[in-house]
Amino acid sequence: METPTIAYKRVLLKLSGESFCKPKGFGIDGQAIEAIAERITRIAKLGLQVAIVVGGGNFFRGESFSQKSRIPRNTADYIGMLSTVINAAALQESLEKFGQPTRVLSAIDVPALAESFIRRRCLWHLEQGRVTILAGGTGNPFFTTDTCAALRAAELEVDLMIKATKVDGVYTADPMKDPTATLLAKISYDEVLQKNLKVMDPAAVSLCRDNRIPVIVLNIFKEGNLEKALRGEPIGTWVGP
């Protein structure tokens, strides 16, 4: 069987916390995380270097929680960072059950579960063929994991960032609310910012624009979508210059 041609050497995959559970669910669902791990293992075996930034929304959202409680935003955000460590540990175990060597590196120190994120160490793991899961966000409150993904993509000099979602890409409006919403095949960073499209937060989009990192927004749960993106085939929504 012929090995598919991959258009990239190093990619960063941004996984939302919701990817780890059933729709509108909470915590980690075994079937959901195994499906993700199987897809990641498959693309890692194609020979490219894979870094992953995980969110924590399936457990905790710092900003919304702080608005509904007396816990200040900075503390709530740190709780959210710990949620990403939980997801990272679970994803690591799932990947290794499929035989994929993996390392978790965290921006906040959790030595029992993860190494500290150091750029050179992360690059070394990638070069050794290990999938690196990057937890703890940026290590700072008031920043989303999307911004963390854009930051790590720039630090690691990736060729492509993939924002893995449960929808097919970026639409002109919310397709769940507006039946006339259409899928956008391609859009520029500036258009995302000007139209205030909910692709990523503005800081993340600006980081990608300033470092010329292309982003593909796609549905990770559709079979073959990741491979199509990595082969350079049209899939989802391309966000770029």
Q: Is residue 1 one of the residues assigned to a domain?
A: no
Q: Is residue 99 one of the residues assigned to a domain?
A: yes
Amino acid found at 229? A
Number of domains in the chain: 1
Q: What is the pTM of this model?
A: 0.93
Q: Is residue 5 one of the residues assigned to a domain?
A: no
**For 117-129, how does the pLDDT look when each residue is reduced to its tens digit (9 = 90+)?**
999 999 999 999 9
- Confidence class for position 241, pLDDT limits 50, 70, 90: confident
- Confidence class for position 148, pLDDT limits 50, 70, 90: very high
- Provide the pLDDT for residue 4: 62
Q: Is residue 186 one of the residues assigned to a domain?
A: yes
- Confidence class for position 234, pLDDT limits 50, 70, 90: very high
Retrieve residue 151's tokens: 């930051």
- Provide the pLDDT for residue 1: 43
Give the residue-averaged pLDDT of 4-30.
90
- Provide the pLDDT for residue 16: 92
Quote the CA–CA distance of 3 and 15 in Å, as a whole number: 26
- Provide the pLDDT for residue 226: 94
The pair phi, psi for residue 144, each rounded to 5°, is -80, 165
Report percent pLDDT > 90 for the chain. Answer: 82
- Provide the pLDDT for residue 3: 54
The pair phi, psi for residue 93, each rounded to 5°, is -60, -40
Q: Beta-carbon neighbour count of residue 29 at 10 Å?
A: 16
- Confidence class for position 5, pLDDT limits 50, 70, 90: confident
Q: Is residue 2 one of the residues assigned to a domain?
A: no
**For 19-63, how does the pLDDT look when each residue is reduced to its tens digit (9 = 90+)?**
998 888 899 999 999 999 999 999 999 999 999 999 999 999 988
Report percent pLDDT > 70 for the chain. Answer: 98
Q: 82 lies in which domain range?
A: 10-240
- Provide the pLDDT for residue 154: 98
Q: Is residue 225 one of the residues assigned to a domain?
A: yes
Quote the CA–CA distance of 122 and 19 in Å, as a whole number: 24
- Confidence class for position 172, pLDDT limits 50, 70, 90: confident
3-state SS class at 231:
coil
Averaged confidence pLDDT in the chain: 93
Q: Is 120 exposed, middle or buried (0-12, 13-18, 19+ CB in 10 A)?
A: exposed
Give the residue-averaged pLDDT of 161-183.
88
Q: Is residue 4 one of the residues assigned to a domain?
A: no
Give kind and range of the element (H or E) at residue 91: helix 73-97
Give the residue-averaged pLDDT of 129-148.
97
Q: Is residue 232 one of the residues assigned to a domain?
A: yes
Give the residue-averaged pLDDT of 126-137.
97
CATH of the domain at 152: 3.40.1160.10
Angle at 105 between CA 102 and CA 107, to 5 degrees: 160
